[in-house]
Amino acid sequence: MTRASRLCSIAVAILWIGAAASQARAQSAEAEALFRAGRGLIKAGQLAPGCDKLAASERLETSVGTLLNLGDCREKLGKLASAWAAFRKAEAIAKRAGGDDKRQAEAERRAGLLEPRLANLVISVPNRVDGLVVRRDGELVDEAVWNTPLPVDPGSYAIAAEAPGRSPWRTTIAIAAGGSRRVVVIPSLPRVAPAPPTDLVAAAPWPPPRPEMLERRRVAAERSTWTATRGVSVVFAVAGAGAAGAGLYFGLHARSLSDRADQLCPGAVCDNPEGLRQNADAQTSASRANVFYIAGGAALATAAVLWLVGAPGEVTLVPVSSARAGDHPVAIAMSGRF
């Protein structure tokens, strides 16, 4: 390392130490100001705000003197557990620092006088479950202090317990002064039953159709001429028309054969083979024409009957307010003509 580098390192160290010392002095000044303000309020008889000032000073900078004054203030307010904790902390700091035997002894004496008067709270957890969380006044109670007597200030406390998949539990207790002990037992939290599947129809019933919608549907049903029966009648009509056409064809063919046979055999007796053959063919075609005429006529008659029978009836929709199945609205359609 060069001489210039060493000088830079020393300068940085000096600046850092100076900044830290300035910050420590500023922090001590703030803590001292809060300490004096708290002492002034206490002397004026304002214990609660005075204790708050001392507590704020102690959070900024812990000292034996601040803790002794804070413990004395809280004892006067009746917060014996908080006062006892302040005295015990002052005792520990004085002992660790050394050379402050007088204030160490005073802190120990004051804490000893308070111990018989402390109220204790025991949060008993006999049945532990996975994920169990216990809170006191909304603050988490560490699992390590469960089932252990803890000094508390007199007053009212809200105790709550919860765990995943289980019903939460909550209670409020009152702690009295004078060395009392209160045990709160966290009960076994029952499991929460799984929610049943939501019935979508029951949860969201069908909205009733508007009157104008019912009217449009009724008019549309009245104007419609097409039904399933009429569809069948159309099939029979097409088949009948086809059969009638075939009958017409064979009838015309039979007439043509008969004319040619008459030309070859004009007399009553005919010995011309070709004339005889065409005459026989004419009779066969005539027979086929008759069969097709009969089948076509029957099919057309059936189609006509089905067309008339299959005429649509007038459809009336019953409003949903007057027809229900269980809890669900139902629209009813009725046919009134056949």
- DSSP labels, 150-210: EEE-SEEEEEEEE-TTB--EEEEEEE-SSS-EEEEE-PPPPBPPPPPPP-HHHHSPPPPPP
Say what the pLDDT of residue 288 is.
Answer: 83
Whole-angstrom distance, CA of residue 236 vs CA of residue 242:
10
Could you tell me the pLDDT band of residue 219, with boundaries at 50, 70 and 90?
low
**What are the distances in angstroms from CA 54 to CA 61, 89, 230, 258?**
10, 14, 100, 138
Summarize the confidence of residues 30-51 as an average pLDDT: 92
Between 127 and 260, residue with greater pLDDT: 127
Could you tell me the pLDDT band of residue 334, with boundaries at 50, 70 and 90?
very low
Share of the chain above pLDDT 70, in %: 72
- Is residue 278 over pLDDT 80? no
What residue spans of the chain are helical by DSSP H?
Answer: 3-43, 47-60, 64-77, 80-97, 101-114, 200-203, 211-223, 228-264, 273-309
Say what the pLDDT of residue 260 is.
Answer: 75
Instruction: Of 119-123, 138-142, 198-202, 292-296, give the lowest mean pLDDT range.
Output: 198-202
Single out the residue of 141, 147, 183, 145 nearest to residue 162, CA to CA: 141
**What are the distances in angstroms from CA 190 to CA 101, 158, 170?**
55, 20, 13
- Is residue 327 over pLDDT 80? no
pLDDT digits (tens, 9 = 90+) for 81-132: 999 999 999 999 999 988 889 999 999 999 999 999 999 999 999 988 999 9
Say what the pLDDT of residue 308 is.
Answer: 78
Say what the pLDDT of residue 12 is.
Answer: 40
Summarize the confidence of residues 234-258 as an average pLDDT: 81
- Determine if the pTM surpasses 0.85: no
Helix (H) or strand (E) holding 333: strand 332-335
Average pLDDT in the chain: 78
pLDDT digits (tens, 9 = 90+) for 10-20: 444 433 334 33
